[in-house]
Amino acid sequence: MDEKDKMKARLLEAKKKSGKEKESALMAVAEEFQAAEAYNELGIYYKDETGEPEKALEMFEKGIALSPRTAALYNNQASCYVNMAVKSEERREEHMAAAVSLFEKAGKLNSVGYFFLGNLYMPKINPPFPDDYEKAAGYFKKVDRDAGACWFSALNKLGIYYYHEKKDYVRAAACFSLAVKLGGTDKQYKNNFEMAFSKVRNRKFWKEKMDALELPGQIDEMAETGEKRLIPVCPRCKSREIGRYSVAENLRRSLAGGIKKKIHYHSYCKKCGYEW
């Protein structure tokens, strides 16, 4: 058994203990092996079990000194600051800023950090962070496959953003269907797809496009090129600059033209003026 395995075995034993015994066993592993994993566990212990965020931060900091590229250490520090921001009113802004900056640091190492950041701004989830759907969506777009199951969850949340905030059912359905296709097993993703797709027009056209999707980064392009193809063309000059007359507008134009003139065109070409 090499040192690393020995440390892992001891760490596992320590994690099974509770209270003060757990604390001293973890500390022993941390100091003996100079192991970032053990400092991480100690930090979690102080953060979640004893509610001592300052002590927790110190432990994560020791872990970072030993292993500066471990995303979990920054995420856990950030989560400490979120807890502190909830509790302390006078230092709230400062703690919130620290949390954001640490999650961003983590996100550069593993995109799950961006997932946590997106969640901070999702409506009605994480006070004191303000509801900011746009910001949340921006972070969810940065989540990649290295985030594991959070990748699918981020896609699902992005879909919810398109659905509720943008009423963009094509992009929403594309997000949900891709979450399922890439391996997301949550039943909710499939239900959300059904819900969004039922609101999509030209379903046959879009289904094909969605089935061809392989990665989230392709959704915008799929939607844009698809939308362009669905825009009608002027029968005379082939321009795509088409306007539509509303029923009210047709009525107004009919009245303006006199009692006998009934206008019933739906569309007009902005380029050549043709009406149909």
Nearest to Zn ion of 205, 268 (CB atom) = 268
Closer of 132 and 275 to Zn ion (Cβ): 275
Cβ-based nearer residue to Zn ion, 203 or 238: 238
**Cβ distance 123 to 84 under 8 Å?**
no
Minimum distance of Zn ion from residue 244's CB (angstroms): 14
In this structure, is the dihedral angle defined by the CA atoms of residues 96, 172, 110 and 43, taken in order, positive or negative? positive
Minimum CB–partner distance for residue 247 and Zn ion (Å): 23
Identify which of residues 202 and 239 has a Cβ nearer to Zn ion in the complex.
239
127 vs 243, which CB is nearer to Zn ion? 243
| Cα distance between residue 143 and residue 200, in whole Å | 26
Give residue 106's Cα distance to chain centre: 15
Smallest distance, Zn ion to C-beta of residue 205, A: 24
Secondary structure class of 81 (helix, strand, coil):
helix
Which amino acid is residue 203, in one-letter code? R
* DSSP of 138-178: HHHHT--GGGTHHHHHHHHHHHHIIIIII--HHHHHHHHHH
Q: Which is nearer to Zn ion, 205 or 245 (CB)?
A: 245
Least distance between Zn ion and beta carbon 233 (Å): 9
Instruction: Check if the beta carbon of residue 153 is closer than 8 Å to that of residue 172.
Output: no
CB of 232 to Zn ion, least distance (A): 11
| Smallest distance, Zn ion to C-beta of residue 262, A | 23
Q: Which residues bind Zn ion (CB under 5 A)?
A: 234, 236-237, 239, 269, 271-272, 274
Q: Are 36 and 72 in contact (CB under 8 A)?
A: no
In the block, residue with structure tokens 């797709």: 197
